[in-house]
């Protein structure tokens, strides 16, 4: 459950924050509790203009909650759809700028070290338009580290976590992941924003899993939009390379 709240302090100090609370039905499920705590632990170690800020992890009447930064904006999926609906698609240079800000935030998370100086090895694993919030003041923040994986933490094997339509091939196959998996997912986001449509629309989960984990070439952005700036396609194709060693 997500709540908008007002944090009060001395001498009339007020600040809008978001409280994310575990739903009662999930509070007895160790896996969901672990995901909730993972989000708080990992994100609390991150302080970057392009990553949502976590202020507090707490418990009230037996319920876990996270207090985080309030972002006044909309996710990129809403931005894309709304622009299309009104005949005002996001301009290419804005799209590239927003995705570059997401890349800045992800790079910071990927290269972040702990207080012991050792690399945390964070991989977000759920990079998608829904987890990239464009703020009304022109910024962008990566949110929802609930299924992120740190090098020091092992997740349950045999369970796929993340959105199938944005999974890297190695993630769809259940292989070990590194930062390049998030790069692949972000490449799909950029593809969809500039081509103004879904990469793989109207497919069921099994079809998505088969395609994302396979080896067949994915569509090129220029096949969907002939007037795409020539400089963008090589970047998108490199981000979405099937083999991770060929990506940025």
The active-site residue, picked from 126, 178, 182, 216, is 126
Report yes or no: 176 and 157 within 8 Å, Cβ to Cβ: no
Name the 3-class secondary structure at 74. strand
Would residue 126 show up in a list of annotated catalytic residues for this protein? yes
Report the candidate in 133, 150, 152 with the shortest Cα–Cα distance to residue 142: 133
Residues 6+ positions from 127 with CB-CB distance below 8 Å: 102, 106, 142, 166, 182, 185, 186, 189
φ, ψ for residue 14, nearest 5 deg: -140, 145
Backbone angles phi, psi at 210, to 5 degrees: -65, -45
Name the residues annotated as catalytic: 126
């Amino acid at each position: 459950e997500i709540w908008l709240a007002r944090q009060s302090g001395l001498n009339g100090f007020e600040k809008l924050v978001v409280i994310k609370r575990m739903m009662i039905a999930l509070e007895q499920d160790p896996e969901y509790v672990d995901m909730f705590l993972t989000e708080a632990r990992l994100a609390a170690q991150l302080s970057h203009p392009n990553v949502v800020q976590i202020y507090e992890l707490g418990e009230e009447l037996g319920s876990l909650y996270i207090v985080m930064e309030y972002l006044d904006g909309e996710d990129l999926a809403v931005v894309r759809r709304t622009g299309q609906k009104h005949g005002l698609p996001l301009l290419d240079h804005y799209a590239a700028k927003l995705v570059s800000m997401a890349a800045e935030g992800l790079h910071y998370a990927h290269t972040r070290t702990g207080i012991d100086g050792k690399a945390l090895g964070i991989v977000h694993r759920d990079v998608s338009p829904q987890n990239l919030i464009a703020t009304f003041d022109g910024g962008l923040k990566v949110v929802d580290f609930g299924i992120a994986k740190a090098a020091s933490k092992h997740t349950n094997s045999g369970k796929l976590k993340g959105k199938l339509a944005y999974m890297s091939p190695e993630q769809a196959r259940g292989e070990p992941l590194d930062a390049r998996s998030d790069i692949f997912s972000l490449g799909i986001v950029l593809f969809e924003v500039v081509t103004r449509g879904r990469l793989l629309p109207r497919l069921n989960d099994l079809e998505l899993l088969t395609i994302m984990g396979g080896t067949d070439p994915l569509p090129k952005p220029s096949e969907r939009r002939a007037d795409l700036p020539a400089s963008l396609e090589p970047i998108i194709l490199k981000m979405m390379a099937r083999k991770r060693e060929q990506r940025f």
